[in-house]
Amino acid sequence: MLKQRVITAIVLLAVLLPALFAEAVWPFALFTLAMVAAAGWEWGRLNGLRDAGALVLAVLVLVLCIAAVESGWFVAPPAALWWVAMLLWVLGGAFSLRAGVAGWAGHPRLARQGIGAFALVLAWLAFADARAVGINFLLSVLCLVWMADIAAYFGGRRFGRRKLAPAISPGKSWEGVYSGMAGVLLLAIIWAFFIDRKLDVDSASLYALVFDRLGVIGAVLALVFLAAMSVVGDLVESLVKRSAGAKDSSRLLPGHGGVLDRIDALLPVVPLAVAVRQLALAA
């Protein structure tokens, strides 16, 4: 298993890094497009579709992304999109988690499939938009999610007592969530006041932007919110998998499970980080 995980990680990095650091946006956009299409196939299978039907959902995600490009949204996405994403994840995520596993299974399949496809398209547009802003900005958003996950894991193991959502993800604790938020704030301070100021970066990071434009209190609130939404993304995917009786979203990534298993926390955070950036610029 470890050997598979290492090989898969090396292959993914060998594709991701050149795409990420390419001068143009389109190599990274193509990489993430492939990822969200694969995630669409997984989402379909987790929500009642057989392989052929799940493939149709993946194609639908691709078609919607291409339609967004043709409409000009790839270059200049409407600002309202990110606020729609905010409503989808904050209200929809809260409603889904409150309803629980049984509640999710009780929703019409078509509605579940459509919501997933819409969320994936929004995420892809946000990935492309964040990359267009700059590599430093995009990396700061990605690292926010990774730091929240890593700090939550170690904080939960060390201090975890109170279960966060035992029926959905028994391993998560409130102490882990708070540890993740603390890790994000520490990362934000280091990034905003060292990396942005001392290194030659191509764009302002999310952290520098919120500290400069929203002040300390506003920045803390925004970053804690994004860290919390990374947990929501993780829990929603766990909820869907439990409803389907699946351990992983698929076996597309040997040793790592499926694509959704790797990007679940990014799906809400990247669009909402773009929304926070717009809010900060308008402040």
Annotate the chain with three-state secondary structure. CHHHHHHHHHHHHHHHHHHHHCCCCHHHHHHHHHHHHHHHHHHHHHCCCCHHHHHHHHHHHHHHHHHHHHCCCCCCCCCHHHHHHHHHHHHHHHHHHHHHHHHHHHCCHHHHHHHHHHHHHHHHHHHHHHHHHCHHHHHHHHHHHHHHHHHHHHHHHHHCCCEEECCCEEEEEHHHHHHHHHHHHHHHHHHHHHHHHHCCCCCCCHHHHHHHHHHHHHHHHHHHHHHHHHHHHHHHHHHHHHHHCCCCCCCCECCCECHHHHHCCHHHHHHHHHHHHHHHHHC
Looking at residue 75, its pLDDT comes to 80
Give the chain's mean pLDDT: 94
Looking at residue 136, its pLDDT comes to 97
Q: Could you give the CA distance from residue 264 to residue 235 in angstroms, rounded to a whole number?
A: 9
Report whether pLDDT(5) > 90. Answer: no
Contact at 8 Å (CB) between 223 and 186?
A: no
Report whether pLDDT(255) > 90. Answer: no
Report whether pLDDT(254) > 90. Answer: no
Looking at residue 2, its pLDDT comes to 60
Residue 272's pLDDT band (cuts 50, 70, 90): very high
Q: What is the pTM of this model?
A: 0.95
